[in-house]
Chain A
Amino acid sequence: MSQASDQSDRETIAAILAGDSERYAELVDTHQTGAIQLAYSLLSNYEDARDAAQEAFVSAFHSLPRFKGSARFSSWLYRIVVNKAKDKLRKRQRTPYMVSVDNDDESAGVGPFTLPDLKSKAPAEIMHEKELATTISRAVQQLPFKQRTAFVLHHMQGKPLQECADVMGCRLGTVKTHVFRATQRLQALLAALYSERTLS
């Protein structure tokens, strides 16, 4: 996120804290995509991800007076999203839940990933793309939660490591360790796919 949009966030927050709560819609519009993507990557279920992101936005609104402004609003919000996603996973553990990767229509994609234009591709190739996306999504779900969070933030959302540390509330070195271990583990889980793709 640019410094200009960061400044815009601060101005919006100041207006909200001054009593114009309707302006919170601007923050929701700006940050909802990142928040839903993060939750979706962590939970691999769109409805749960949408709920977690919605709960995070509502919590963030009520906690806005406590927002110090030392970090970016997005980092602060994503931290709440991560906590809400963790709550959802705890609930899943308490109640029987079928962990499944969404199988939406072809144009939408599989799991949190968008599939490339499949119209010009053969049915076998389409099937292969879907399987690949499903396998990667399931492999990410097998990572321990902290490793998964660090991996999703850094490798899937493209956040700098320092921002990942801000979101996760830990030191930069810790985040590096989480990302490294997650990458190693995924490499092992996806060895067959990785070698197949590398060779092809």
Chain B
Amino acid sequence: MTFHNWFKQWMQEHPLRVPDEDDSRRFTQDVMRQIRADVMPAHAPAWGGWRLAVALPAFAIATTLIVVTALYLTRDNGPTVVEAAPPTPPATEQVEPVQLAHTDDATSPFEEAEAIVALLAALDEELNGDLSADTLTEALRWIDESDLSS
């Protein structure tokens, strides 16, 4: 008998072991568990992305509805909002007229002062040096109503 035949006979008498039914079932379960564990993280972003794709427009629509409703209600209660509005800084109101007065008016402050002094001097002369408080008040009102630039 050749070695080849001898070994062949040995293998017929002693075949390779076959896993029993329980071990075989466990083996398949172990492989599939491993595969599921490997596959799930790869699919998770796509699944998450799908949820995000639905959630984002829904959130946007809800937010838009809230904002539009709030604006609508605000328009109906206009005075309330005006009252609640923060006051305009006073500096703006104070600066602008002074700048406008000097830029629009041709008469300089120095000329205005000179004209006032001249008028007061003329008034005092007319009253023979008796310029009382009442007279001065009257004179200032008169000056205020006069066109000093002319």
Contact = CB atoms under 8 A, between A and B. Distances in A.
A198 B27 CA distance: 40
B18 interface: yes
Nearest to B26: A50
Contact of B8 (A40, A155, A190): A155
The secondary structure that dominates the A interface is helix
Interface string A25-50: 10011001100110011000000001
B31 A113 contact: no
Interface stretch (B32-40, B55-63, B97-105, B140-148): B32-40
B17 A112 contact: yes
A194 B14 CA distance: 15
Given A155-B7, A156-B11, A61 B19 contact: no
Contacts of B6: 194, 197-198
B27 to A, nearest CB: 5
B13 interface: yes
A116 B16 contact: no
Interface residues of B, number: 25
Nearest to A51: B30
B31 to A, nearest CB: 5
B1 A24 contact: no
B35 A36 contact: no
A32 B38 contact: no
A78 interface: no
A40 B16 contact: yes
B149 interface: no
A58 B34 contact: yes
A24 B3 contact: no
B23 to A, nearest CB: 8
Interface string A70-87: 000000000000000000
A85 to B, nearest CB: 15
Interface in B16-52: 16-19, 24, 27-28, 30-32, 34-35, 38-39
Interface of A: 21-22, 24-25, 28-29, 32-33, 36-37, 40-41, 50, 53-54, 57-58, 61-62, 108-109, 112-116, 133, 136, 155-158, 183, 186-187, 190, 194, 197-198
12 contacts: A25-B32, A32-B19, A32-B24, A33-B19, A33-B24, A36-B27, A40-B17, A109-B14, A114-B18, A183-B4, A183-B7, A198-B1
Interface of B: 1, 3-4, 6-8, 10-11, 13-19, 24, 27-28, 30-32, 34-35, 38-39
Given A25-B31, A62-B38, A155-B4, 7 more contacts: A21-B35, A50-B27, A53-B27, A61-B31, A115-B14, A186-B3, A187-B3
